[in-house]
Amino acid sequence: MTSLTTVTRRIGGLEVGAIGLGCMNLSHAYGTAPSEREAERLLLTALEVGVVHLDTAALYGFGANEELVGRVLGQHRDRFVLASKCGMTGVDGKRVVDGRPETIRATAEAALRRLRTDVIDVYYLHRLDPAVPIEESVGVMAQLVEAGSVRHIGLSEASAPTVRRAHAVHPIAALQNEYSLWTRNPELGTDAVCRELGIALVAFSPLGRGLLTSSPPVMSALPAKDLRHGMPRFQGAAYAANLALQRQLAELADEAGCTPAQLALAWLLDRGDHVIPIPGTRSVDHLRENVRAATVPIAADVLRRAGELVNERTVTGRRYSAAAEADIDTEAFPQAG
């Protein structure tokens, strides 16, 4: 099958496609997981169409997602850049943030086994542990690099000051923060620090957790355990207002001859060569649609209008609940968040 990816970007010394794949929703957080057969088909198709940057974490499915990636793609390890995360795992069925060196080391050892590899290309600290100085967490991750089990270090949901402190201990190759038309938090500081220090800004949830697509979620149809039920932007009047924005974005995309998802991803790619979106999906068709966003021709004026339509001033609701925000180190807007 012909690769759909022709545009590349860099994470440290690694070349990746402009569009990666977030693997979380194959095992975690978004309702009922797909069957093993469906998940396997998606991962293998990703390689076939040229996706070479795959992102997982110890937290996703409490290890199940790493096991899935390792089982399906272990024999193809030389064909893709593998990213995973430590510092937030499942313990006795609950999410636990733990950045202690001994925990990070143990998590990395378990990840290598599950992923069926001897090296993780990009290893992120998933969350800042407020009880552990960032220097200690990054220090042990630097030891993993020295030992050869990790190639590059990254941070996730980290603020600009935290990035600077970490980078002083060991070069940070990637910062994975939520970034999209409707979540502009990186523009409060982390985007600038990434540009300054040569760090890739890996944008998770670049499609607004499904809102910035042709088929935004119908909340009443989602399983009770779907994490969006707990997010203010997907609740009541706030969601109704945000759906109105989605309809306007869809009209603009139709005018441009692309899909809303492609417009949203193209807008992100236009932010700079250091920005790398990693949309997740369970659909092979949506996977191909997303990857094509790197090459679909969209006029600069359309990208500008998309940014003016959907942004921190026009979106209703914070991105996380107050309880979830307690785990987040990133900068936030006073209202939209």
DSSP-based three-state secondary structure for 125 = strand
CA–CA gap between residue 205 and residue 280 (Å, rounded): 7
Kindly compute the dihedral angle of the four CA atoms of residues 337, 215, 25, 289, in this order, to the nearest 10 degrees. -110
List of residues 6+ apart from 271 with CB closer than 8 A: 179, 191, 201
Catalytic residue list contains 239: no
| Residue 112: other Cβ atoms inside 10 A | 19
Residue count of the chain: 337
Residue type, 136: E
Which token pair is 192? 């600038």
Q: Where is 192: in which H helix or E strand?
A: helix 190-197
Residue 18 Rama label (left phi>0; alpha psi -120 to 50; beta): alpha
CA angle, corner 206, sides to 311 and 333, nearest 5?
A: 40
How far from 259 is each of 7, 92, 212, 253, CA to CA, in Å?
Answer: 19, 42, 10, 5
CA–CA gap between residue 232 and residue 322 (Å, rounded): 10
**Dmax of the chain from CA atoms?**
54
The active-site residue out of 30, 60, 123, 179 is: 60
The answer to whether the CB of 185 falls within 8 A of the CB of 234 is no
**Closest by CA position to 124, among listed 53, 218, 181:** 53
Q: Which residues are catalytic?
A: 60
